[in-house]
Amino acid sequence: MLGGVLSDDVLERLLWGVVLVGAPSLLLLLLWQMYRDCRIETYLFCESCKAADTGDTGRCPICDRELSEMAGFFYTSNSGEEKLLLRRGLQPYRNN
Ligand SMILES: [Zn+2]
């Protein structure tokens, strides 16, 4: 169809160009989504209640104590992932 306008050689180069630019772009998009899904946020937390102050109120959402200690947290609702994290020594904290 485009044979009259573009030679086979040019068409092949265009096809390779799409593949070589498209594949890394797709990979970057997937990696970015994975990174975004396991984003680590820093919050104040209450050690005795095992609760993180995700609302940034400065107080424990359970015992209402004023908080001063901060740590990195990330959210998961996947129980398999939670077990894996426990095995790696991370502790689960509540956020409400
Ligand atoms: Zn507390």
Domain parsing of the chain, residue ranges: 1-37, 39-87
13-37 average pLDDT score: 87
Higher-confidence residue: 48 or 76?
A: 48
C-alpha 54 – ligand 1 centre gap (Å): 13
C-alpha 56 – ligand 1 centre gap (Å): 14
C-alpha 10 – ligand 1 centre gap (Å): 67
C-alpha 13 – ligand 1 centre gap (Å): 63
C-alpha 25 – ligand 1 centre gap (Å): 45
> What is residue 65's predicted lDDT score, i.e. its pLDDT?
96
**pLDDT band at residue 4 using 50, 70 and 90 as cut-offs:** low
Mapped onto helix, strand or coil, the DSSP state of residue 73 is strand
> What is residue 17's predicted lDDT score, i.e. its pLDDT?
92
Residue 32 in this model has a pLDDT that exceeds 70: yes
C-alpha 50 – ligand 1 centre gap (Å): 7
The CA distance from 93 to 72, in Å, is 11
> What is residue 42's predicted lDDT score, i.e. its pLDDT?
92
Query: Cβ distance 93 to 52 under 8 Å?
Result: yes
Question: How do residues 37-74 score in pLDDT, each as one tens digit?
Answer: 667 889 999 999 999 999 999 999 999 999 999 999 88
Query: Cβ distance 31 to 73 under 8 Å?
Result: no
> What is residue 59's predicted lDDT score, i.e. its pLDDT?
96
